[in-house]
Structure 1
Amino acid sequence: MSGPEAWEPRAVAGEDVVEAGPVAALAALFDDGIPAPREGDDLPPLWHWVALPHWPASSGLDLDGHPVRGDFLPPVELPRRMFAGGEVVLHRAPKVGETVHRRSIVDSVTDKSGRSGKLVLVQVRTELSGMDGTPYVEERQDLLYREAGSPSRAAAVPEAAAALEPVGSPFRRTDGQTWEFATDPTLLMRFSAATANAHRIHYDWPYATRVEGYPGLVVHGPLMSLALAEVLRLDSPAARVRRISHRNQAPLFCGQPAQLRTSPGARSVALELLGPSGPSTSLAVELAE
């Protein structure tokens, strides 16, 4: 593991309110015709990422906008942090306005190597339950840390984060199983605000291109996964989700064209977000009987 040997994982637990404000913000951001969940309504699948925001103190933020490493998350020295995927098991949907118990802990930290160099995979486990102990959500999140890329790649998407026309709703149906997914800097900024995500790669063009070496602003991994889950709601509003496995395979950059595709089965649905170079994000959804 990278970083000081003294670090040890510790559980963080507490009570949180399923906030109505961020839920309404995400519904407004999607602007897809589905009414925003209101007080007492069930949260749609994966919307707990938005409804339970955590705002760290400004003095606790690092250069990249994330909380300083070495407290809850390990002191990994690699600069690039990516939301690589995970799995969510839904026992019962939390309701908007409800108070829930949340417990999170780092399960594992693994050094790896890949084509781009050193990698560190951090797995975080989170459990949400009712105040009476009823299990609601069990989740594993995979966070991947990588070395920075070369700033010379910044020319690859010269207009992606500047002077874009507003996209309006990011969803446009093209046929029965395919949607277009459009992004602009405003969409990314609003999603960052709704999820308390200060990571600068999503809104700070000079930082994203000159420090971390990306060719443009990076579309949030959780936003891509939520967009796929939203397409399932649009196509199958009565579907009850039991489990979601999600994987982010490649970055999508702001303004790049993308498609959302669904492949329904008997008790499952496969969803995929395709960017210019191929698959970016995939969801495997298990439906409840």
Structure 2
Amino acid sequence: MTHVTTRELVDPAPVAALAALFDDGLPAPQPGDELPPLWHWVALPRWPVSSELGTDGHPARGTFLPAVDLPRRMFAGGEVAFHVPLKIGDTIVRESTVDSVTEKSGRSGKMVIVVVRTRLSTEDGRLCLEERQDLIYRDRGAPAEPKPAEFTPVGAPFRRAEAGTWDFATDPTLLMRFSAATANPHRIHYDWPYATRTEGYPGLVVHGPLMSLALAETLRLNRPSAQVKRLSHRNKAPLFCGEPALLRADGSVLELLGPGGTPRTSLEVDLHEEGTVHA
């Protein structure tokens, strides 16, 4: 079992980068403010040194994550429990552990599920956040038929459609900026020839964390006084750059729907709001 402990800054710069990327009319969180739900994915970036990178852009397997011999890595989901708020500009202690590595076979062939658990605490030992992340490794698909990689800039990605729903638009620039804000070098998000010809996707892949963060942002847009106690997220299918998508907030269940209304990502939240817990 791999275990790593680090001291890290809740960095204001990538927080400002994500606020600029979302461009949704909400004020950008400032130093001293509490981090919105899931923004720790941005506020605690980990930049790997160049010599550690593998062919897919991620750090080569066998450093922290296990040496899984399957090329496709996907962020499948997880769960976060919030305790003491994380504040921008604070220094925290991160403890990360590879909890399990499980091999399975399904209709799409062999896959490996890696579970990573993380605890974030204040310097004086108060637990802020506990998280489980599920990573899935699969074999590559057949090379995809090349499609034009030209996109019209979408501008702000959030557009309110009706009560409780927003259109969510992506373009290559948005994906590149999110990769930069989160220190994510995975080539499927910005390298179109690699994504289509090597990993067999039909286009650039929208980041799983970006889809989950977009859903969490609808809480700030729709229910600004809500306080999140626990949040679980699941990526059911990939969304590709430029595909139309809809964010739908229905009570405690939030969904990102792709073309044809097919579910791509779901978020379930347990809220404290004005002293009341919403299941």
User: Smaller-chain TM-score range?
Assistant: over 0.9
SS of the aligned residue for 2:145 comes to helix
- Give 1:154 shift: 3.2
User: CA separation in 1, counterparts of 2:2 and 2:114?
Assistant: 14
Structure 2: distance between partners of 1:114 and 1:175: 39
Q: Provide the C-alpha distance between the structure 1 equivalents of 2:40 and 2:164, rounded to a whole number of angstroms.
A: 26
Which secondary structure state, in structure 2, belongs to the residue aligned with residue 154 of structure 1? coil
Is 2:113 aligned against 1:121?
Answer: yes
CA–CA distance in 2 between the matches of 1:23 and 1:83?
21
Give matches, 1:1-289, under 5 Å: 9-151=1-143, 153-155=144-146, 158-159=147-148, 162-264=149-251, 269-276=252-259, 278-288=262-272, 289=276
CA distance in 2, matches of 1:154, 1:287: 44
Equivalent AA in structure 1 for residue 204 of structure 2: L
Q: Percent identity?
A: 68
Structure 2 gap segments, 5+ residues each? none
Matched residue SS, 1:186: helix
Q: Deviations over 1:149-168 (max 9, x none)?
A: 011x334xx24xx2211111
Distance 1:236 1:107, change over 3 A: same
C-alpha separation between the residues in 1 aligned to 2:6 and 2:71?
29
Return the TM-score normalized by structure 1: 0.93
CA displacement at 1:18 relative to structure 2: 0.2
Which whole-Å CA distance do the structure 1 matches of 2:109 and 2:20 have between them?
40
Distance in 1, Cα, partners of 2:112 & 2:66: 10
Task: Output one character per residue of 1:125-182: Cα deviation in whole Å (capped at 9) or x when no partner.
Answer: 000001111010000000000010011x334xx24xx221111110011110211000
TM-fit CA distance, 1:200: 0.1
Q: Deviations over 1:45-85 (max 9, x none)?
A: 00000000000100000000000101110000000000000
Letter in 1 for 2:156: S
State the aligned residue count: 272
Q: Which runs of 5+ in 1 are unaligned?
A: 1-8
Q: Give the CA deviation at 1:92.
A: 1.9
Contact 1:91 1:137 in 2 (8 A): yes
Match for 1:90: what amino acid? F
The answer to whether the 8 A contact 1:39-1:97 is kept is: yes
Q: What residue identity is the alignment partner of 1:33?
A: G
1:3 corresponds in structure 2 to none
C-alpha distance in 2, partners of 1:282/1:174?
19
SS of residue in 2 equivalent to 1:234: helix
Is the partner of 1:229 in helix, strand or coil? Answer: helix
Alignment TM-score, normalising by the size of structure 2? 0.96
Q: How many angstroms apart in 1 are the aligned matches of 2:110 and 2:158?
A: 36
Describe the superposition over 1:87-144 as per-residue Cα deviations: whole angstroms up to 9, x where unpaired: 0000022100000010000000000112211000000000000111101000000000
Q: Secondary structure at the match of 2:256?
A: strand
Amino acid at match of 2:16: A
Q: 1:242 Cα deviation (Å)?
A: 0.4
- 1: CA distance, partners of 2:7 / 2:204: 34
Stretches (4+) displaced over 3 A:
none
**Whole-Å separation in 2 of the counterparts to 1:287 and 1:150:** 43
